[in-house]
Amino acid sequence: MLDVIIIGAGPCGLSAAIECQRQGLSSLIVEKNFIVHSIYLYPTNMQFFSTTPLLEIGDVPFTSPNDKPYRHEALVYYRRAAAQHQLEIAAYEEALSVLPQEDGSFVVHTVNKRGEEQQRSAANVVISTGYFDQPNLIGIPGEELSKVTHYFGEAHPYSGMKVAVIGGSNSAVDAALELLRVGAKVDMVYRGSSISDNIKPWVRPIFESMVQKGSITLHLESRVTEITPASVLVTSSVNGEPTELDNDFVLAMTGFRPSRALLTSAGVQMDDSMDKPAFNPATMESNIPGIYVAGVIASGRNANEVFIESGRGHGKLIADHIVSTRLT
């Protein structure tokens, strides 16, 4: 039986595995896709908000010619960190449930890409799954159309197209600027009276300049209320008046939320208001002894509560607590 099974090979899951390794604990990472899959899903040309030291794990230096690294640099870095620490990762193996046993251990039911199911046993389980699995749906007519996506990779496929971007966060602003560079006609629709205050400071003036020039049409205090194959209906929150815009594609940058299935299968209690798991912030242990949370899964519906720079420290809290319980 393993000391620890870590579910999720994102930066916080990798960090937890490294910290467990340092404490002499046997561990395995189970990842339904591949290492740092969430970062892979970021836009191709995305630049991080954080500097490289704040993204480092396991005392592996993250060097970059840029003050703030780009997505492709992060992919290389986390692969290198995992290899340097010789982490054991079961890639393309999805954890289906975590079942407590009478002796206090756990059985993790998994299935790999070949459809083969198995049961893995461990004394402790760390759930460090990300949040890209479940986009926050708007719930409007036409959202199911193929022209609508909640993921933005790169702008090239939208060259010369009429694109509506829904949202006012960094992801929406970055997408709008990328689209502009390939000649797309961009309408950006946001329910707030201004775009987010958290827009990257080096990006905000560029975006505002494009809006002032009319290169990006910004619809504030507005919502997309219907999507058709040829248009979108934008309704003002101020006067309730709808406007129909010609449209080819819709990028709904409305955020994501973590899946709670594994937590609930293990009996972890959830906060009704924010769908947040119950855990001790000093140890990251849930209300079920031996079940821990790490990374964004601990944040509830507001994924912005936890970033790599804060979530990477969860692993040490967890490893220290596991070892301390063995000594008592």
The CATH code of the domain that includes 286 is 3.50.50.60
The verdict on 221 and 301 lying in the same domain is no
The verdict on 260 and 304 lying in the same domain is yes
pLDDT at residue 117, rounded to an integer: 95
The verdict on 310 and 286 lying in the same domain is yes
Q: Considering 252, 279, 312, which residue would you say is the last residue of a domain?
A: 252
The verdict on 103 and 48 lying in the same domain is yes
pLDDT at residue 300, rounded to an integer: 65
Q: Are strands 270-271 and 276-277 parallel, antiparallel or unpaired?
A: antiparallel
**C-alpha dihedral (237, 243, 244, 250), degrees to nearest 10:** -30
| Mean pLDDT of the chain, nearest integer | 92
Band of pLDDT at residue 272, cut at 50, 70 and 90: low
pLDDT at residue 67, rounded to an integer: 85
Band of pLDDT at residue 116, cut at 50, 70 and 90: very high
The verdict on 201 and 303 lying in the same domain is no
The verdict on 12 and 113 lying in the same domain is yes
Question: What is 108-171 written as a DSSP string?
Answer: EEEEETTS-EEEEEEEEEEE---S-SEE-----TTTTSTTEES----SGGGTT-EEEEE--SHH
**pLDDT surpasses 80 at 310:** no
Distance of CA 299 to the CA centre of its chain: 11
The verdict on 203 and 245 lying in the same domain is yes
The verdict on 159 and 73 lying in the same domain is no
CB 154 within 8 A of CB 132: no
pLDDT at residue 306, rounded to an integer: 52
Q: Considering 252, 271, 298, which residue would you say is the last residue of a domain?
A: 252
The verdict on 313 and 226 lying in the same domain is no
pLDDT digits (tens, 9 = 90+) for 144-162: 999 999 989 899 999 999 9
Q: Considering 231, 252, 273, which residue would you say is the last residue of a domain?
A: 252
The verdict on 183 and 277 lying in the same domain is no
pTM for the full model?
0.85
Q: Which own/partner contact pairs does 150-157 have at CB distance under 8 Å and 24+ positions apart?
A: 150/251, 150/252, 150/253, 150/254, 150/256, 151/41, 152/43, 152/178, 152/251, 152/253, 153/41, 153/43, 153/44, 154/43, 154/44, 154/45, 154/178, 155/179, 155/181, 155/182, 155/184, 156/182
Quote the number of domains for the chain.
2
**Which residue in 211, 219, 220 sits closest to 193, CA to CA?**
220
Q: How is residue 179 annotated by DSSP?
A: H
Provide the residue range defining the domain that includes 121.
Answer: 2-133+256-327
The verdict on 232 and 282 lying in the same domain is no
The verdict on 109 and 23 lying in the same domain is yes
Average pLDDT over residues 97-115: 95
Band of pLDDT at residue 301, cut at 50, 70 and 90: low
**pLDDT surpasses 80 at 247:** yes
What's the half-sphere exposure (Cβ side, CA atoms, 13 Å) at 195?
A: 27
**pLDDT surpasses 90 at 131:** no
pLDDT digits (tens, 9 = 90+) for 22-52: 999 999 999 999 999 989 988 888 888 889 9
Average pLDDT over residues 253-268: 84
